[in-house]
Amino acid sequence: MKITFVCTGNTCRSPMLQAMFADYARKVGFKCETDSAGMCGGGSPFNPKTVNVLAARGIKAEGESKLFDDRLAAESDYVFTMSESQRDDLKKRYPTLCVECLSALCGHEIDDPYGKGQEDYDATGELFEDLLAPVLEFVEAAEKKKTSPDKKD
């Protein structure tokens, strides 16, 4: 199973959440592959402030941004976006893709800390801490639905 997190440029939010969720899944024994991508851009290093947030949690993160493309769409079982417009765009481009905005789990879109201070990145990391279990619960519930027989009488 592959879970992919998507934001605008894949330098701040999605790599942060991807690394945090991968660490969380490993700790709770949930087997999955994780990835992250952006709606635009690609080829830029992860933001140093994102790397700082992860380092404070003992998570090493390095890499560069990439664009969400057909290959990643085909590989991903679940995709989580930071905004509803990102979700809507991906649903339009890939109608069979299981894509959900994180706002469905926390009641609001995830603000982009790009161009802001370290405290904004830290706050995003704290918000993501609170989303780790709900993301896992969403995936587990969706998987259970897939394997449960319909009870039509």
Q: What is the pLDDT of residue 62?
A: 83
Q: 70-122, pLDDT tens digit by residue? A: 999 999 999 999 999 999 999 999 999 999 999 999 999 999 999 999 999 99
Calculate Rg over the CA atoms of the chain: 15
Residue where the block lists tokens 């830290």: 122
Q: What is the pLDDT of residue 101?
A: 98
Its pTM surpasses 0.75: yes
Percent residues over pLDDT 90 in the chain: 92
Cα–Cα distances (Å) from 62 to 24, 27, 53, 133, in that order, read 18, 20, 12, 24
Q: What is the pLDDT of residue 153?
A: 44
99-101 sheet: strands from edge to edge: 33-38, 2-7, 78-81, 99-101
Q: Is the pLDDT of residue 149 over 90?
A: no
